Amino acid sequence: MAESRVQTRRPIGLFVFVAIVILIASLASAGGAYLYQSSLVSQINDQDASLASSQKKIDKKFISTIQLADKRLSASADLLNNHIAVSPIFIDLQNLTLETIQYTKFTYSLSTDKNKKTIAVKMSGVAKGLKPYNSIAFQSDAFAKDDHIQNPVFSNLNLDEKGNVTFDLDFSVDPDFVNYSKALDFIKQTTSGTPPTTGGTQ
Thinking of the domain 87-192, which architecture would CATH place it in?
2-Layer Sandwich (3.30)
Q: Which residue has the higher pLDDT, 64 or 198?
A: 64
DSSP 82-116: H-B--HHHHHHHHHH--TTEEEEEEEEEE---SSS
Confidence label for 155 from pLDDT (cuts 50, 70 and 90): very high
CA distances from 97 to 90, 135, 202 (A): 10, 10, 9
User: CA-CA distance, 27 to 33, in Å (whole number)?
Assistant: 10
Kindly state the percentage of the chain with pLDDT values over 90: 29
| Cβ atoms of 138 and 103 closer than 8 Å | no
Closest CA to 92 of 100, 103, 78: 103
Q: 10 Å Cβ neighbour count for 178?
A: 22
Mean pLDDT over 147-168 rounds to: 93
Least confident of 25-29, 67-71, 98-102: 67-71
What pLDDT does residue 199 have? 38
The domains of the chain are located at: 29-80, 87-192
pLDDT band at 10 (very low <50, low <70, confident <90, very high): low
Coil vs helix vs strand at 4: coil
pLDDT at 83: 61
